[in-house]
Structure 1
Amino acid sequence: MNSPAVLPRVSAARFGVAMLFVANALVFATIVTRYPELKDRFDLTELTFGLMVACGPLGSIVGSIIAGRLVARLGAVSVAVTSSVLLGVLLMVAGFTSGPMILGAVLFVIGFADATGDVGNNAHGLAIQRLMGRSIINGLHGAWSAGAIAGALLGAGALRYALPIEIHLPAMGAIIVIGSVCALPLVRLPMAPSSQTRSPSHRTSRFSAILIAACAIAAIGGFLEDVGSTWGGIYVVSETGANVAEAAIPFVALMGALTLGRFTSDALVDRIGSVGTLRVGSVAALVGLLTAAFAPETWVVAVGLGILGLGIAPMIPLAMDAADRAPGLDTGAGLAAAATVMRVGLLASPLLVGALAEWAGLRVAIAACLLVPAVAWVLAGSVRNAELIPAPGVADVSR
């Protein structure tokens, strides 16, 4: 870091960007809790409901593709805060939609803003990390996980007390807008920027081994997270005889462990490095999946998914860090590439696992996923050159 005098401002910026991560998660968790009500309100079939919800991931992929260019042109702070405010406004609008097509359009824009905000948040968080000279990116993703849990609990409370959707969503949207605006003075860094854009002579490294490995690890993290969250409840009902009320236990175990793992992974990175952390996480994910795949009881599945959550916790944050350090790319381009591929991984899980389960059964489909963390263990070595290196100044992604 340039001077001990800037430490309070850098710490404030870290807190401010954590606020933006939480705001991003609150949007997702808030609207998901009202999906069943929206499905009934619009009298949708499973297919039409699925098509409406799919507008969100589609918008996020589009947003991820152009997010790097937005960050390079406008700076990460502008992109992150503007996206967060827009998400809050859109959540307010979602509370008053009158039909599935309008809501689908709103979800598309929410997905778009979620993706641009995600890249902006990560870019600025990584710039702060370089100033601090130690890993903080896992903790920032832990803030996202904690925000998702908080949003889900608030949503459950709103449902329990029959709070109308026209009040719940706009109220949460207003909170997100206010919080995002309050975060703006915190996230700004009072130092002269130094360019991080690579010279044209290095552009031949555009598709470097680091970038390819980082994108693959991001996709693996997203894939395994979705395996646990999407299929955990269905798995215990169909394979261990759990009732509907018990179906939430695996998801709670996964998300709780994922949050804990992200808040503790930074210390592990500082001790054994990114490669070592990814490999430890890959082994834990393998053990967790193996436990869940052959579990005879619901509680054993929950333990397995908890171990899986601990294992995958550092995958997406460290993949983002490695992609941001890949040579031959303009500011934000590596992050955007990793974010795009990660979202493809999130979409691949329900399709691939569902297709295999239809053919061979869900237990076999979950067992087949054991190959995925093994691939992550192999790929981890390719991000070795992207280990954390302290920077002398603030990169231009933090404007």
Structure 2
Amino acid sequence: MTHPTSVRRVSAARWGVAALFVANAIVFASIATRYPELKETFGLGELTFGLIVACGPVGSIFGSMVAGRMVARLGAISVAVGSSATLGLLLVGVGFVGHPVLLAAALFVIGFADATGDVGNNAHGLDVQRLMGRSIIVGLHGAWSAGAIAGGLVGLGALQLAVPASVQFAVVGGAIVVGSLVALTTLGLPEPVVHETTPATSGRSRLLSAVLLAACGVAVIGAFLEDLGSTWGGVFLVQEAGADIADSAFPFVALMAALTLGRFVADPLVDRFGPVATVRLGAASAFLGVLAVGAVPAQAAVIVGFALVGLGVAPMIPLAMAAAERAPGLGRGTGLAIAATLMRVGMLASPLLVGAISEVTGLRVAVLLCLVVPVVALLLARALRPPQG
């Protein structure tokens, strides 16, 4: 692909997909930065709050289960753009919910659309990557992280200025709908992309199963730790470190800033040291971050701790997805879809487990118990080593 027009079209498609990743993240960040306020407004306990937040990951699991068929039937572009515009409309609606049950229902549908959009974005992003002949998928995940920072900063600013959530969500959601339709005009590719399926061999089936399971495990852990910060970071800062509600978005912003930085510097680390060492380094950073949050519940320590968690999580999901997608014997995107579906389990586990344990032990102890999670990632990382030769 050397014709200048073709190069320009592929480059435009790359930036269009990146814009959809950004939009997806902004919806998530807009709601996450308002979690402490929503918890207080509805008078929710830790377990009830965790159950309501968990409706989002539950919806995303259902979305992941059907997203592959949607992409096969409608095409990745249609699914990606349609899901993004739907998320913008849903965000507007969340600003007007007046009951916890309605909030739970809205989060479920948002989770569903988020998952279908995620698979559509990744599928089309991988098509663009194949035409470009070099890796861009980690950078696209970095675009998601940058969008989360932007959404977090908007949420933080809205809290500081006492802007109602309904106003914030209406403005941001409307902008996402318009932006999604604009992105649609850039996503077309100059040529079809051929997808090859590599057959499995019976002698390697056990090894491949172990690799796929380990990759899914790392993806689940990455999602769990990321959601630990986004769901519980603000609540922990207010409840355990004595911060004001207006400052509750700082842990989320710190987490996403570090996550973005980590994703934009991870590729050189992978090239030099390999995916195994990179994930292990990330697991060590996440362990130190969780330890800092739970052991030193001062406001600065909580913010820095969740930044370390974000830095550690950064390479986990992209490298786990790459390992799952490499597994022979699976159709195009099957390993990616399996890992994406199970990754949603990690998002579901964090609000549920931490909320349930907090009801018995308190939030600080519940967070400290999460130290076991990055340790498991440290052990599973070995299976992410790419095949030699």
Name the TM-score, length of structure 2 as normaliser: 0.84
CA drift of 1:234 comes to 4.7
Deviations 1:27-75 (A, max 9, x none): 222344556776788x675577665544332211110111122223333
Match of 2:347 in 1: 346
CA drift of 1:296 comes to 6.7
Match of 2:69 in 1: 69
Within-5 A mapping of 1:176-187: 176-187=176-187
Within-5 A mapping of 1:301-312: 301-312=302-313
Match of 2:125 in 1: 125
CA drift of 1:330 comes to 2.1
The residue identity in structure 1 corresponding to 2:252 is F
CA drift of 1:236 comes to 5.2
CA drift of 1:380 comes to 1.8
RMSD of the alignment, in Å? Answer: 3.5
Distance 2:195 2:346 in 1: 32
CA drift of 1:172 comes to 2.3
Within-5 A mapping of 1:310-321: 310-321=311-322
Deviations 1:335-385 (A, max 9, x none): 222122112112212333344455555554434333322221222221223
CA drift of 1:194 comes to 0.7
Distance 1:98 1:355 in 2: 25
Q: Which stretch of structure 1 is more off in the superposition, 222-231 or 125-134? A: 125-134
Deviations 1:295-320 (A, max 9, x none): 37442343333222111111112222
Name the TM-score, length of structure 1 as normaliser: 0.82
CA drift of 1:216 comes to 0.6
The residue identity in structure 1 corresponding to 2:223 is G
Within-5 A mapping of 1:364-375: 364-375=365-376
Match of 2:86 in 1: 86
CA drift of 1:219 comes to 0.6
Match of 2:194 in 1: 194
CA drift of 1:160 comes to 5.4
The answer to whether the 8 Å contact 2:233/2:251 transfers is yes
Match of 2:216 in 1: 215
Quickly say closer, same or farther: Cα 1:97–1:386, change in 2 above 3 A. Answer: farther
Distance 2:370 2:21 in 1: 29
Distance 1:307 1:143 in 2: 19
Find the residue that maps to 1:330 and give its secondary structure.
coil
* Structure 1 residue 60 corresponds to structure 2 residue 60: yes
Match of 2:278 in 1: 277
Find the residue that maps to 1:186 and give its secondary structure.
coil
The answer to whether the 8 Å contact 1:325/1:386 transfers is no
Distance 2:210 2:141 in 1: 24
Distance 1:350 1:187 in 2: 35
Find the residue that maps to 1:385 and give its secondary structure.
coil
The residue identity in structure 2 corresponding to 1:310 is L
Distance 1:364 1:98 in 2: 32
Distance 2:301 2:43 in 1: 36
Deviations 1:113-140 (A, max 9, x none): 1100011112222333344444332322
The answer to whether the 8 Å contact 1:217/1:316 transfers is yes
Match of 2:324 in 1: 323
The residue identity in structure 2 corresponding to 1:83 is S
* Structure 1 residue 109 corresponds to structure 2 residue 114: no
Within-5 A mapping of 1:219-230: 219-230=220-231
The answer to whether the 8 Å contact 1:136/1:266 transfers is no
The residue identity in structure 2 corresponding to 1:3 is T
Q: How many residues align?
A: 385
Distance 2:363 2:282 in 1: 24
The residue identity in structure 1 corresponding to 2:64 is S
Distance 1:237 1:162 in 2: 17
Distance 1:167 1:234 in 2: 23
Match of 1:151 in 2: 151
CA drift of 1:248 comes to 4.7
Match of 2:301 in 1: 300
5+ unaligned residues in a row in structure 1: which ranges?
390-399
Quickly say closer, same or farther: Cα 1:360–1:53, change in 2 above 3 A. Answer: closer
* Structure 1 residue 13 corresponds to structure 2 residue 13: yes
The answer to whether the 8 Å contact 2:95/2:165 transfers is yes
Quickly say closer, same or farther: Cα 1:234–1:88, change in 2 above 3 A. Answer: closer
Quickly say closer, same or farther: Cα 1:74–1:384, change in 2 above 3 A. Answer: farther
The residue identity in structure 1 corresponding to 2:324 is A
Distance 1:142 1:284 in 2: 18
Quickly say closer, same or farther: Cα 1:31–1:370, change in 2 above 3 A. Answer: closer
The answer to whether the 8 Å contact 1:28/1:148 transfers is yes
Distance 2:39 2:369 in 1: 32
Distance 1:205 1:229 in 2: 37
Q: Which stretch of structure 1 is more off in the superposition, 346-355 or 60-69? A: 346-355
Deviations 1:181-231 (A, max 9, x none): 2212322221232123455888x9597222211111111001112233334
Distance 1:199 1:101 in 2: 47
The residue identity in structure 2 corresponding to 1:180 is S
The answer to whether the 8 Å contact 1:135/1:270 transfers is no
5+ unaligned residues in a row in structure 2: which ranges?
none
The residue identity in structure 1 corresponding to 2:371 is L
The residue identity in structure 2 corresponding to 1:18 is A
The answer to whether the 8 Å contact 1:20/1:84 transfers is yes
